[in-house]
Structures are given as C-alpha cells and as structure tokens.
C-alpha cells in the first residue's frame, strides 16, 4: 500500500452534528487512533461533558482531573491538561470532566466567549516542540457555545451521518450554523468531510440514505463507509478505540481506510503537495 502523506500544517477538524447518537464520538476517537496508527500525531479535544471520548481513549477524567473546563473558564494552558492515551504515544487527549456541563452557561458572561478554545489551541500549537498533525474536536449534541468554540477553533467540519431514518433532518440547521460562524467568526471554516456511519448494507433504507446524502454532497461524502459493527460499540467499555481493541474487525478496517482517505483528501486540498512533515 502507498505510504500516507502527513499534512505539513496542523489540520483541525471538528466532528459535529447536533443530533445525539450519530457516531460523533466513535468517529472522533477511531479516526484519531487510525491516524496515529499510520504515524500522525493527533490531539483529541473532548468538548462533550459526557466525556465519552476521554473514556474511549483510556484517559482519566474524574472530577478532580484538570480538563477542558479549566482551559475554557480559567484560562489554563492546554499543555497543562493534555494527557497521552495508553494506546499510543502519538495519541493525546484534552479530557472533559463533568464540570464542563456548567461551562455552556458560565461562558455566556465571559469575555471573548466564542474564542476561548481557539486562543488556547493557537498558543498550544505555537509553543509545541512537535505540534500534532491533526486536532480532532469531539462536540456535544447541540449548537451551543461549546460547539461554537469548536467551530471557531477549527478549519474543517467533519459530519458523521447515521444511515437511518431522518438522517438529513437537522442538517440544514447545522450547515446554517457553519455558514454563520464562517461569516462572522472564522472565515476558513468549511464542511470538508461527511462520513456515513453505522451502515448496514443489507437494508434498503441504509442504501437509500447513503444515495441521498451522496446526491446532495457529492464532494464532501467519503468513499469509505463505516459499517455497523458490534466490535465498534464494545470497544469503549474497555477504555479502548476499536483500532486497539480489535484491529482486524470490519469497523477498525473501515476507520483506518477513512483515515487514509482523509489524508489523501487533505493532500488534494493542499494542491496535491507530496511533501510530508519532516520528522525530527
């Protein structure tokens, strides 16, 4: 197989969809782990108070652990809270704790409330000896201030779409939010990638949904589709991504393919540059 080309500048993606249970967290952690498995340094920022991404990456996130909450509200440097996943030295996580549940409200009265994450991330990337190739932000299922902070910090939006009833419902609201943030807060923001998840090729419904999404978004939808797979749903209860839990399973294979496709699409967007980030 072809050696994947790592991006020359950090790519920041936010995994967003205001619907819950569509595979945001699963996609964030498994794409991140798959990217790390091909040599990319990846930082996952867990912006969901539920902390499911932190759990899946095997990173402690009890209430006493310094977290994204401290970064957003008390201006802790991101470097002070980032932990390395036991899964790979290339895979790091800024954990979420239960305190983050209050941040949505607390942020309302704060100065530069939409820019908190971006400022922290800019400082982190500028001062890191080896900046990550990818930053992947896992969003909560809402379009509140936490998600706005993610939209302001990222350049790319990755939308997971579950191949089930009402897959496209609420999508125009999400696209409207992206457009608004792009206009007022973060011009480079765009929907770069749509990933079809929990695909069951045996059902006509899944096929129809996939077809409909591809018709609407021919350039954004990845060729790779993530199948519905029990191994994918089991992995988090072992504090693992499916890449580590069962690397040969269909879900792991698909997420690795998605990671390679994401890398290739990035190279295409950079004008097909063949240069890879020089490893120190």
Q: Which of residues 93-152 bind Mg ion (CB under 5 A)?
A: none
Quickly count: other Cβ atoms within 10 Å of residue 206's Cβ. Answer: 21
Q: Compare residues 10 and 246 and give the one whose CB is closer to ligand ADP.
A: 246
Interface characters, 33-72, with Mg ion (x: CB under 5 A): -------------------x--------------------
- The alpha-helical segments, DSSP class H, found in the chain are 24-37, 52-56, 68-74, 100-106, 116-127, 145-153, 171-184, 204-216, 230-234, 242-245, 250-269
Q: What angle do CA 13, 16, 17 make, to 5 degrees?
A: 160
Residue from 62, 233, 237, 273 in contact with ligand ADP (CB under 6 A): 233
Instruction: State which residue, 25 or 152, has the beta carbon closest to Mg ion.
Output: 25
> For the window 197-216, what string marks contact with ligand ADP as x by the rule CB under 6 A?
xx------------------
Alpha carbon distances (Å) from 55 to 3, 93, 154, 256, 271:
30, 10, 23, 20, 37
Location of structure tokens 């191994």: 231
What is the rounded radius of gyration, in angstroms, for the C-alpha atoms of the chain? 17
Q: Please state the closest distance from residue 73 (CB atom) to Mg ion, in A.
A: 21
Binding of Mg ion at residue 24 (CB under 5 A)? yes
Among ligand ADP, Mg ion, none, what binds residue 21 when CB lies within 5 to 8 Å by partner kind?
Answer: ligand ADP
Q: Is 25 a binder of Mg ion (CB under 5 A)?
A: yes
| Shortest distance in whole angstroms from residue 232 CB to Mg ion | 13
Q: Does 21 bind ligand ADP (CB under 6 A)?
A: yes
Q: How far is the CB of 89 from ligand ADP (least distance, A)?
A: 25
Q: How far is the CB of 126 from ligand ADP (least distance, A)?
A: 30
Q: Does 240 bind ligand ADP (CB under 6 A)?
A: no
- Which residue shows structure tokens 């100065």? 111
The region that residue 223 occupies, defined by phi over 0 for left and psi between -120 and 50 for alpha, beta otherwise, is alpha
Q: Which of residues 250-269 bind ligand ADP (CB under 6 A)?
A: 251
Q: What is the nearest approach in angstroms of ligand ADP to the Cβ of residue 57?
A: 13
Which SS3 state, helix, strand or coil, does residue 13 take? Answer: strand
Q: Summarize the chain as % helix, strand, coil (round to 5).
A: 45, 15, 40
CB of 109 to Mg ion, least distance (A): 26
How far the first Cα of the chain sits from its last, in Å, is 24
State which of residues 14, 16, 26, 249 lies at the interface with ligand ADP (CB under 6 A). Answer: 26
The per-residue b/e assignment along 93-105, b for 16 or more CB within 10 angstroms, e otherwise, is bbbbbebbbebbe
What residue ranges bind ligand ADP (CB under 6 A)?
20-26, 52, 141, 197-198, 226, 228-229, 232-233, 251
What residue ranges bind Mg ion (CB under 5 A)?
24-25, 52
């Amino acid at each position: 197989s072809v050696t994947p080309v790592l991006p020359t500048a950090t790519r920041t993606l936010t995994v967003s969809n205001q619907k819950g249970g569509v595979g945001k967290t699963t996609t964030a952690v498994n794409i991140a782990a798959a990217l790390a498995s091909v040599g990319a340094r990846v930082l996952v920022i867990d912006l969901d108070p539920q902390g499911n991404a932190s759990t899946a990456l095997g990173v402690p996130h009890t209430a006493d652990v310094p977290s994204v909450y401290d970064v957003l509200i008390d201006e802790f440097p991101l470097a002070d809270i980032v932990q390395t996943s036991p899964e790979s030295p290339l895979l790091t996580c800024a954990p979420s704790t239960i305190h983050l549940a209050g941040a949505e409200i607390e942020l309302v009265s704060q100065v530069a409330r939409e820019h908190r994450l971006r400022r922290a991330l800019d400082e982190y990337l500028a001062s890191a000896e080896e900046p990550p190739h990818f930053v992947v932000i896992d969003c909560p299922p809402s379009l509140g201030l936490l998600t706005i902070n993610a939209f302001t910090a990222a350049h790319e939006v990755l939308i997971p779409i579950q191949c089930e009833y009402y897959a496209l419902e609420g999508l125009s609201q999400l696209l409207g939010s992206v457009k608004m943030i792009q206009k007022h807060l973060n011009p480079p923001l765009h929907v770069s990638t749509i990933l079809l998840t929990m695909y069951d090729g045996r059902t006509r419904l899944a096929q129809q949904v996939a077809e409909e999404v591809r018709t609407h978004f021919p350039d954004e939808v990845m060729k790779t589709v993530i199948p519905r797979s029990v191994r994918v749903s089991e992995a988090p209860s072992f504090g693992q991504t499916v890449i580590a839990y069962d690397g040969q399973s269909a879900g792991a294979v698909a997420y690795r393919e998605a990671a390679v496709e994401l890398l290739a699409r990035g190279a295409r967007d950079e004008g097909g540059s063949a240069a890879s980030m020089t490893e120190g």
